[in-house]
Amino acid sequence: MSQKINQIYLVELEKLHQHEEADPDHLKELTQQIASDNILKYAIVADQKTNVILDGEHRYNALKNLGCKRIPVVYVDYESPNIEVYAWRNGYNLTKQDIIEAALAGKRFPPKTSRHMIRNSDVLVHISSIEKRVDMPLEILKSDLNIIPLKSVKTAMQIDVKDTLPVYTRFLKTGIVDIPLILDKKTKVLLEGYEAFQALDLLSAEKAPAFKIDINKVEI
């Protein structure tokens, strides 16, 4: 059975733990590429229990170099038998516990030591296969998360209520607002997050988490 992957989370870099060192040459090249693109194309993968990065450590380090504060993450249950770990390097016989202990103790393995695989329809594939395309502007990843009055948000369009219902149901069921709004910092016009905005409005919420960005620095 495949592991179910549902949600992308924006996670603060300082909360994540890497279990391998970054290769300096690859990191330099990747940092330059992300800076040139001005977006992060793919989310990374981490363990939901420990915040240990399983794949994407070079992207994690590149964002640190670029002054970002958070990164998009796909969380998985690392204890699941659907996830397996193998060694790229000779002389290593890795277990999941080795990965967790190395990350949490700060005793990292050399670059490209581990290789994580995940079962997809009974076939083992590299775990990078679940790294969703996000094309997240660096301006968002560098911004602070604010709690703002919902009534201060200006909208430029309407969406169908049926598109709001899944988000409304999730907020109502969990009691957690895990989709921040994205606003232009100057005009407070809502750029992304219309479903979340409308769901909060239906729930009579007074405030919402939001990123305020300079619209001139991103492509909409």
Residue 159 near residue 195, CB atoms below 8 Å: yes
Whole-number pLDDT of residue 38: 94
Q: What is the pLDDT of residues 1-15, one digit of tens each?
A: 334 445 788 999 999
Among 3-12, 137-146, 194-203, the minimum mean pLDDT is found in: 3-12
* pTM (predicted TM-score): 0.84
Domain extent for 81:
8-139
Q: Residue 66 and residue 174: Cα distance in Å, rounded?
A: 34
Q: Residue 170 and residue 66: Cα distance in Å, rounded?
A: 33
Q: How far is CA 8 from each of CA 74, 83, 90, 180, rounded to the nearest angstrom?
A: 5, 19, 34, 12
**One domain for residues 106 and 172:** no
Is a pLDDT exceeding 50 seen at residue 117? Answer: yes
Q: What percent of the chain has pLDDT over 70?
A: 96
**One domain for residues 39 and 75:** yes
Whole-number pLDDT of residue 91: 79
- In a domain, residue 92? The reply is yes
Nearest to residue 12, comparing CAs of 63, 55, 49, 65?
A: 63
Integer-rounded Cα Rg, in Å, for the chain is: 19
**One domain for residues 97 and 205:** no
User: Which residue, 122, 139, 156, sits at the end of a domain?
Assistant: 139
Q: What is the pLDDT of residues 14-58, one digit of tens each?
A: 999 999 999 999 999 999 999 999 999 999 999 999 999 999 999
**One domain for residues 68 and 133:** yes
Please give the tally of structural domains in the chain.
Answer: 2
